[in-house]
Amino acid sequence: MTAGAQLHGKVAIVTGGASGLGRATALALAEAGAEVVVADLDETGARDVAELTGGHSRGCDVSDLAANRTLVDFAVERCGGVDIAFLNAGVATGCGIGDDFDPALYRRAMGANLDGVVFGAHAVLPALRARGGGAIVATASLAGLTGVPLDPLYSANKHAVVGLARSLGPALAPEGIRVNAICPGYAESKIVDPIRGMLSEQGVKLIPAEVVADTVLRIVTGDAAGECWFVQPGRDPQPFRFRNVPGPGGD
């Protein structure tokens, strides 16, 4: 069975779809046969990608619950339903804890990176249930699997996305709704722009956005739930194997 046959007749929402990982994944989903709704704060960019996919575009601030509901309503009305949600929108933090802490930047990052996943999942659940199941993939990060002293607040909200996917996955799997996360290292996207020069100086290879998109496609066409797939240069993407927490000790 070809990828196109697998997703023919499916409807996918992609947030943060105007560029980077979202753009690459929107194109991959469309090539695989899905009808794609591209959502982004950058409405012009979203429209440009939608023209390439033959799909639809919508402006959306994922940090707002009502905006997420409006996005899902648009997809249902325009396309007949939703089968896949790639909750990908995200931003760099731009501040740390201490002298450079900025509450506005902190709230902006939490709103996009965590609230955008929570609100997006909450908003799309009724549409997925109406279809008898579906798939949610949230963009976390390798920063959600390890500590990142360079940006501890980004690491914190990405750890939260990982925890949400691992917890919500088993909870919704009995309904045929598969929730997973993808955890790329440094990948080709706008989010690395502030540190692009530093990464280049250190010889860090950026992961092509298409590699991440292909991994998302593997997840949505598979049967996994509650997994967090890492993507790193030179390695085959696969689920991260978490160690079990220690059980109770003896008296």
Q: How far is CA 31 from the centre of its chain?
A: 19
Let me know if 154 is a catalytic residue: yes
Q: Which of 106, 154, 229, 230 is catalytic?
A: 154
Distances (CA, A) of 86 to 3, 73, 93, 131, 249: 17, 16, 21, 17, 41
Give the type of residue at 167.
S
Report CA-CA distances (Å) from 112 to 44, 121, 210.
19, 13, 22
In angstroms, the CA 183 to CA 205 distance is 16
Q: Which amino acid is at 163?
A: G
Q: How many CA atoms lie within 13 A of 154 on its CB side?
A: 19
Pairing of strands 238-239, 228-231: antiparallel
β-bridge pairing 84-87 and 134-139: parallel
Q: Are 187 and 88 in contact (CB under 8 A)?
A: no
Structure tokens at 155: 């690491």
Contact 183, 230 (CB under 8 A): yes
CA proximity to 82, closest of 164, 13, 30, 3: 13
Q: Are 183 and 144 in contact (CB under 8 A)?
A: yes
Active site residues: 154
